[in-house]
Structure 1
Amino acid sequence: MNLYIDFGGTNFRYSFNDGELFTLKSVDIELVPFLESQINLQQDIRKIYISFAGQVKNGKILSSPNIAIQNLDLKTYFYDKYNIEIFLENDLNCAAVYEHSRHKNADILALFYIGTGFGSAFVIGGKILRGKDNIAGEIGHTPFRKKDLKCGCGRDDCLELCVSGKALKGTFEHADEATKKEFLEGLAFAFHTVLNLFNPDLFVLGGGVVKNNPFILDFLKEEYNNSSFKAVRSVLRISVSDIDDAGIEGLKIVSKG
Structure 2
Amino acid sequence: MTSHDASGVRFGIDFGGTGIKGAVVDLERGDFAADRIKIATPQESTPDAVVEIFREILDAHPEVTGPVGVTVPGIVRRGVVGLAPNIHPSWQGVDADALLEDRLQRQVHVVNDADAAGYAEAARGAAQGRTGVVLVTTLGTGIGSALLHDGVLVPNVELGHLEIGGRVAERWASAKVKKTEDISYEEWAERLTVYYRHVVRLFSPDLVVVGGGVSKNHDKFLHLIDVDVEMVPAHLENRAGIVGAALLAGN
Is the contact between residue 9 and residue 66 of structure 1 (CA under 8 Å) also seen in structure 2? Answer: yes
Structure 1 residues not aligned, in runs of 5+:
147-156, 225-235
Aligned-residue RMSD, C-alpha: 3.0
* CA gap 1:239/1:180 in 2 versus in 1, 3 angstroms: closer
* Superposition pairs of residues 1-257 of structure 1, within 5 angstroms: 2-17=10-25, 18-26=33-41, 30-38=49-57, 42=62, 45-69=65-89, 70-71=91-92, 72-101=94-123, 102=125, 103-130=128-155, 135=156, 137-144=157-164, 157-170=167-180, 174-175=182-183, 181=187, 183-184=188-189, 186-212=191-217, 214-220=219-225, 222-224=226-228, 236-243=229-236, 244-255=238-249
CA deviation string 1:77-117 (max 9, x = no partner): 23344542220111121111121124213321111111111
Query: TM-score normalised to the size of structure 2?
Result: 0.75
Is the contact between residue 93 and residue 128 of structure 1 (CA under 8 Å) also seen in structure 2? Answer: yes
Structure 2 residues not aligned, in runs of 5+:
1-5, 26-32
* CA gap 1:93/1:144 in 2 versus in 1, 3 angstroms: same
> Which of the two has higher C-alpha Rg?
1
1:21 and 1:38 map into 2 onto residues whose CA distance is 10
Is the contact between residue 74 and residue 82 of structure 2 (CA under 8 Å) also seen in structure 1? Answer: yes
Residue in 2 that maps onto 1:232: none
Is the contact between residue 210 and residue 216 of structure 1 (CA under 8 Å) also seen in structure 2? Answer: no
Is the contact between residue 114 and residue 144 of structure 2 (CA under 8 Å) also seen in structure 1? Answer: yes
Task: Determine what percentage of the aligned residue pairs are the same residue.
Answer: 24
* CA gap 1:158/1:15 in 2 versus in 1, 3 angstroms: same
CA deviation string 1:196-224 (max 9, x = no partner): 2222221110113343463321122x332
Equivalenced residues, count: 225
